[in-house]
Amino acid sequence: METLKIAVIPGDGIGPEVIAEGIKALEKAAQLDGRVQFEFTHFPWGCEYYLEHGRMMDEDGIDRLKDFDAIYLGAVGYPGVPDHISLWDLLLRIRKSFDQYVNIRPIQLLNGAPCPLKNSSKEKIDMLFIRENSEGEYSGAGDWLFKGKPEEVVLQTGVFSRKGTERIIRYAFETAKEAGKTVTSISKANALNYSMVFWDEVFEEVSKEYPEIQTYSYLVDAAAMHMITDPERFEVVVTSNLFGDILTDVGAALAGGMGLAAGANINPEREYPSMFEPVHGSAPDIAGKGVANPLATVWSASQMFDFFGYNDLGEKLLKAIEILLEENKVLTPDLGGSASTSEVGDRISEILND
């Protein structure tokens, strides 16, 4: 039996609540199957840790995480710690240190999930967002000059390297090739006259290696509109770090809300651990109430199974989510129900058992 060592960072707010249910689902599916087992090690990193130690994680945290097969993360950010510190010192630090340059976010409307486009005949929503996850608008490069003075100027630099741009676009084409899908590139070359002109050129170049794949290109503003008016046109979508972050929240709204938005931060070369996390944040307004929706975290667990080659288990977990949604009985308040976070996790386990 294979043993996978998973570093668990529950993080802040609802993070620990949803992660507990994700672990429950991973363990149940693995136990019923018998080919794989998990060894979980918890790390108490996050905003509380920051308030005590002045940093979001141990000084040697990145070194310690190297020993794991994967990382399972809940959420980061809490009032009292500036959001840019909590994000950069934990989540983005891990993504960058481990060159997790692919952020895979499925936008898939499962049967039973609520959709604001219901009855509009435009409800076939099955997109796979491939978001560049290592540079671009999230490069961290910039400056803050003449702070507090009338001539104050702030610079935030987007960095688009040839290596970084080529590899994410190529990853999208490889994904589409395997799935027999189209590839859509989303950029903004009319306004961002260096970075996005370059992005479009690289997309054009790489697309020539895949003449059998149909391609489309949209400006990000038009894409945001089309995602709502005609979501069926999007299959595999490749876009930059910031655009991907924003558009996948639009996608989440179409496919059941943030409680159903899953994500995987992948280092495809497997030189370093990859990280699986729900897209949502720490939701301080509902933290500690036991009502957070754990399904996005369970879905991220399904992505973890896929990543390790247990695609049948990944599908089984996704199917369990769909059955639960179709039953329409054990759902958290965001989906119109009155069940608790752990009741949803328990029902997932029961469905896996059936």
Residues forming the site for ligand GGG (CB under 6 A) = 73, 75-77, 87, 91, 245, 277-278, 280-282
Cβ 100 to ligand GGG shortest distance, Å:
11
DSSP 82-117: -HHHHIIIIIHHHHHHTT--EEEEEEE--TT---TT
What are the helix and strand counts (H, E) for the chain?
12, 12
Cβ 18 to ligand GGG shortest distance, Å:
9
Cβ 352 to ligand GGG shortest distance, Å:
23
Angle at 273 between CA 161 and CA 101, to 5 degrees: 20
CA atoms within 13 A on the CB side of 1: 13
User: Please, which residue, 215 or 240, has the CB nearer to ligand GGG?
Assistant: 240
Which residue bears the tokens 């070194």? 63
Cβ 83 to ligand GGG shortest distance, Å:
7
Which residue from 176, 226, 234, 165 is spatially nearest to 200, judged by alpha carbons? 165
User: Please, which residue, 77 or 257, has the CB nearer to ligand GGG?
Assistant: 77
User: Please, which residue, 85 or 197, has the CB nearer to ligand GGG?
Assistant: 85
CA atoms within 13 A on the CB side of 291: 12
Which residues fall within 8 angstroms of residue 171, CB to CB, at 6 or more apart?
Answer: 102, 130, 238, 268
Cβ 50 to ligand GGG shortest distance, Å:
14
- Closest-CB residue for ligand GGG? 75
User: Please, which residue, 13 or 231, has the CB nearer to ligand GGG?
Assistant: 13
User: Please, which residue, 75 or 168, has the CB nearer to ligand GGG?
Assistant: 75
Cβ 63 to ligand GGG shortest distance, Å:
22
Look at residue 297 and give its three-state secondary structure. helix
In angstroms, rounded to a whole number, what is the distance separating the alpha carbons of residues 200 and 196? 6
Cβ 123 to ligand GGG shortest distance, Å:
26
In angstroms, rounded to a whole number, what is the distance separating the alpha carbons of residues 264 and 43? 19
User: Please, which residue, 44 or 309, has the CB nearer to ligand GGG?
Assistant: 44
User: Please, which residue, 215 or 248, has the CB nearer to ligand GGG?
Assistant: 248
Which residue from 155, 166, 108, 178 is spatially nearest to 132, judged by alpha carbons? 166
Look at residue 1 and give its three-state secondary structure. coil
Question: How many CB atoms within 10 Å of residue 153?
Answer: 10
Q: Which residues face 183 on adjacent strands?
A: 215, 236
Cβ 328 to ligand GGG shortest distance, Å:
26
In total, the chain counts a number of residues equal to 354
User: Please, which residue, 84 or 162, has the CB nearer to ligand GGG?
Assistant: 84
User: Please, which residue, 86 or 215, has the CB nearer to ligand GGG?
Assistant: 86
Q: Tokens standing for 273?
A: 């651990």
Cβ 133 to ligand GGG shortest distance, Å:
8
Look at residue 157 and give its three-state secondary structure. strand
